Structure 1
């Protein structure tokens, strides 16, 4: 069964361009992971500082591989001081039906 989630965070004002570059670079790497099916980055139209990232992996194991990728911890470390939350808020999703 696929592993789907929504990651959310809010950029601290003044860091918009830096975060956009970080996320775009990270997204390109994640999309190359063999177990990744989707890594779609969105900002809210009403608040472009609010990011929503929709992620889908082929399995729980693929998601764990994603977390263990050598570029994931440095990305999260670089992102943390640039966002309002302590870390990205993760909401795990289940398909309906």
Structure 2
């Protein structure tokens, strides 16, 4: 079993779609936080640029992240999010802890 999987997902709402993206993300957060392997799922909206969204995510391990990616509600979320954002899906940045 590997260590925790930590990432930041980010995306930009199309003009006028900020509220729709925020509502969609809020509903998705409830589902993801219920996953047994989810340690943290914290969505944010950039204060000075409300079209920018960031999600700090932590999963117990590779298996937990794989379960998250394979969840049917995640597929539905991404299908609904796609037409509302500038990018071609969430942009993922993987993080690694500094402590030893």
Give the Cα–Cα distance (whole angstroms) in 2 for the partners of residues 93 and 40 of structure 1.
15
What do you get for the CA RMSD once the two structures are aligned?
0.6
Report what 1:96 is aligned to: 98
1:63 match = 65
Which has more strand, going by share of residues? 1
Equivalent residue in structure 1 for 2:43, among 37, 41, 44: 41
Name segments (4+ residues, structure 1) moved above 6 Å: none
**TM-score, normalization by structure 2:** 0.94
Question: Displacement, 1:43?
Answer: 1.1
> Deviations 1:47-84 (Å, cap 9, x if unpaired)?
11100100000001100000001101110010001000
Unaligned 5+ residue runs, structure 2?
Answer: none
- Relative to the length of structure 1, the TM-score reads 0.97
Q: How many residues align?
A: 97
